[in-house]
Amino acid sequence: MTHTRRRSPRSRVLAPSAALCVLAVAGCSGGGGQPSVAVPTPSPEAAGYCEDLHKELPETVDDLERSDPSPDSDLTAGWGDGAIVLRCGVPRPARMDDSQSKAVDADGVNWLLEQPDDADGGPRFTTTYRKAYVEVTLGTEYAHDITPLSAFAVPVKKTVPDSL
């Protein structure tokens, strides 16, 4: 005796619905999304400063619109789909102990220059002498241009106190 399994009408309705859900999720997480960055894990005190900083960050930097990276966090921000990425609450850079390290001043905020680990990346700057360390990574188009750092001077000075 041969038994034929018969599909219920309900399973035929669910199959297309499931396929549509998969397509919808794929469409929302397509490759053109925001870049992903590691979210720092600062002390509670530093996290408080970072949350205050996040509220003060500009909507545009160097004519680039704000487009925060994923995952969504008050500790990260971005402009120009990853051309400029800010992370607040990063660990103290080891290079701060190196007397040969290079630093720049941008409108009253001192930034330590760190070259990226990979040769293809742009420069990375981390604030010094602040109660929370703020890191800004610039795209390769900013290899010799610190202009975007000026956009962060007022928000950093306003929300992240000096540590000296």
Q: How far is residue 130's CA from residue 132's CA, in Å, rounded to a whole number?
A: 5
Q: How many CB atoms lie within 10 A of CB 127?
A: 25
143 has a pLDDT exceeding 80: yes
> Stretch 7-23: mean pLDDT, rounded?
36
- List the structure tokens of 7: 């599909």
Average pLDDT rounded to a whole number, residues 27-31 = 35
Give the lowest-confidence range in 72-76, 92-96, 112-116: 112-116
